[in-house]
Amino acid sequence: MGTKDDQNIKRDFAVRRSRQIIAIAAVIVLLLLLALLYKRPDILGEFTKKNLVLAQLLVVLAFINFTAFNWICPSCKKYLGSDISRRVCKKCKARLR
């Protein structure tokens, strides 16, 4: 049971961590773009400030939902918390890296 399961858990965590880092980068870029458009709504066409604020909220909500789905322990399926460099699950003590 030990080595094969440990390798699968570590591999699954590495995939989840990569997806999380990509999602963080994408959200930062989108929010910066939307903030730029908020200050200068005529750069890429006509946008109302209300629509830009709504778009920012949707990006944040999408990120929160993605994180709730993605950032779970591969072993016990519990939320891993805010530490992106976690080495061990707080709940089940599974080794993640």
Which pLDDT score is estimated for 19? 96
Percent of the chain with pLDDT over 90: 60
Confidence of residue 47 (pLDDT cuts 50, 70, 90): confident
Q: What's the confidence (pLDDT) of residue 40? A: 81
Average pLDDT of the segment spanning 9-30: 95
| 49 alpha carbon, distance to own chain's centre | 26
d(CA 50, CA 58): 12
Would you say the C-alpha torsion 18, 94, 9, 65 has a positive or negative sign? negative
Q: Can you say how many angstroms the Cα of residue 11 is from the centroid of all Cα atoms in its chain?
A: 18
Q: What CA–CA distance (Å, rounded) separates 91 from 14?
A: 18
**Residue positions counted in the chain:** 97
Pair of tokens at residue 43: 């750069």
Quote the CA–CA distance of 78 and 69 in Å, as a whole number. 10
